[in-house]
Amino acid sequence: MERLWTIMRKEVYHIWRDPRTLGLILLLPGLLLILLGFGISGESQDLSMVVADLSKTDASRRYLDYYVASDDFEVVASAASEVEVLAFIDGGKAQVGLLIPEAFGRTLETGGTAEVQLYVNGSADPANVQTIQLKLSAIGQMASQTILVRRITHVGAATGLSLPIDTFVKTLYNPNGDRKLYIIPGLIPVILELQGLLLSALAIVKEREQGTMEQLIVTTIKPWELMLGKIIPYLVVSTFTLLSMLALSQLLFGITIAGSFWELLGLSLIFIVGSLGMGVLISNLAQSQMQAMYLAMFIVLIPSIILSGMIYPRDGMPWASLFYSELLPVTHYLTILRAIFLRGVGAAALWPSILPLIGLSIVYFVASIFVFRKRI
């Protein structure tokens, strides 16, 4: 027992003498719990909806009010045609599309049955997509039943008991709700970030612990050259990893890229550079490999899995969690990857996600240069 107590006391002293690591161990789990606890909503709220009201009548406006009044949908844009509705959904600007035909109001006035077309972005979580479909169908049926009751009240039962509005819900991109089409494109960004971040997070701090940093200090190498020299080898490794995962996605799961492979590759390289830049920045801030691993896991990797939209929808997140997720390159890359992979969207329609991805990649790489000091 005396020997055991000696080892335990030695380890306690070792932890106590490193207040920086002790602070990380004690503070980060609690902060992460608060951030993620409030950030996980589990259900999409205020779903974005684009509306093409070709009827432009009082009847069509009253019908649209049923969806707005439910608090589940928020009209973010108006479209002039079905093509524009689909373009909004393709670009990720709307989750739901509503197309009210030109003859809608006239058909209802004459006692006929009007048709309404609804579109749902099926590249989201199949469980959430199914919930959205049920909400849309329920609201459409409620609106139709209300109009039917009004008809019977004014005209009588002689008008018939058939519903005056037929609502058709069409799921785009993944109509069968295949969960692999949602999960696999979501795993690729996280795996790439996990590999790149952990490899680069140990780059500088490992030099310090091994004592080889002295050799770099006496050279004329510039900080940006050292950072770039650390990143490029891992960039090659991560690119090979990306290509292998894309090949496995097609061979094992039958998932092919609907959009441009070269656009996907180019944007992936930008994301990898950003992830590696974050890793090198953490390596510069940490004093030991343990600190580097702890910072990488609790500040980047776990929030990337929870807050990026890989598992849980980002709709309805509180502003703090949403703001934090915007600082993670994986959040924007995940949106880009799913858009190209599943919806076949071109880069021209993805600038709202591409620009933050480029900006974050540059910021993290430049920050790693400024934080680095040519000292042991």
191 and 338 part of one domain: yes
Give a yes or no: residue 39 inside a domain: no
Q: What is the CATH number of the domain that holds 142?
A: 3.40.1710.10
164 and 130 co-located in one domain? yes
Q: Give a yes or no: residue 81 inside a domain.
A: yes
Residue 184 placed within a domain: yes
Q: Which residues does residue 97 pair with via DSSP β-bridges, in sequence order?
A: 50, 119
Same domain, 184 and 164: no
- Considering the domain boundaries, does residue 303 fall inside one? yes
- In the listed set 172, 197, 231, which residue is the last one of a domain according to the structure? 172
Asked whether residue 5 is domain-assigned, the answer is: no
Token pair for 301: 């990797």
Domain count for the chain? 2
pLDDT digits (tens, 9 = 90+) for 151-206: 777 665 545 567 788 888 899 888 887 888 888 888 899 899 888 888 888 777 77
Q: Which of 146, 172, 198 is the last residue of a domain?
A: 172
DSSP state letter for 111: T
User: Which residues pair with residue 168 across a beta bridge?
Assistant: 117
**pLDDT per position as a tens digit, 249-303:** 889 888 888 889 999 999 999 999 988 888 888 888 877 787 788 888 888 888 8
In what side-by-side order are the strands of the sheet with 165-172? 73-78, 47-53, 96-100, 114-121, 165-172
Same domain, 107 and 144: yes
In a domain, residue 272? The reply is: yes
DSSP string, 261-305: HHHHHHHHHHHHHHHHHHHHHHHHH-SSHHHHHHHIIIIIIHHHH
- Given a cut of 90, whether residue 360 has pLDDT beyond it is yes
Residue range of the domain that includes 57 = 47-172
Say if 19 falls within a structural domain: no
Question: Is 26 a domain residue?
Answer: no
164 in the same domain as 209? no
With left for phi above 0 and alpha for psi between -120 and 50, is residue 94 left, alpha or beta? beta
4-39 confidence digits (pLDDT tens): 566 666 556 655 665 665 565 566 566 656 656 665
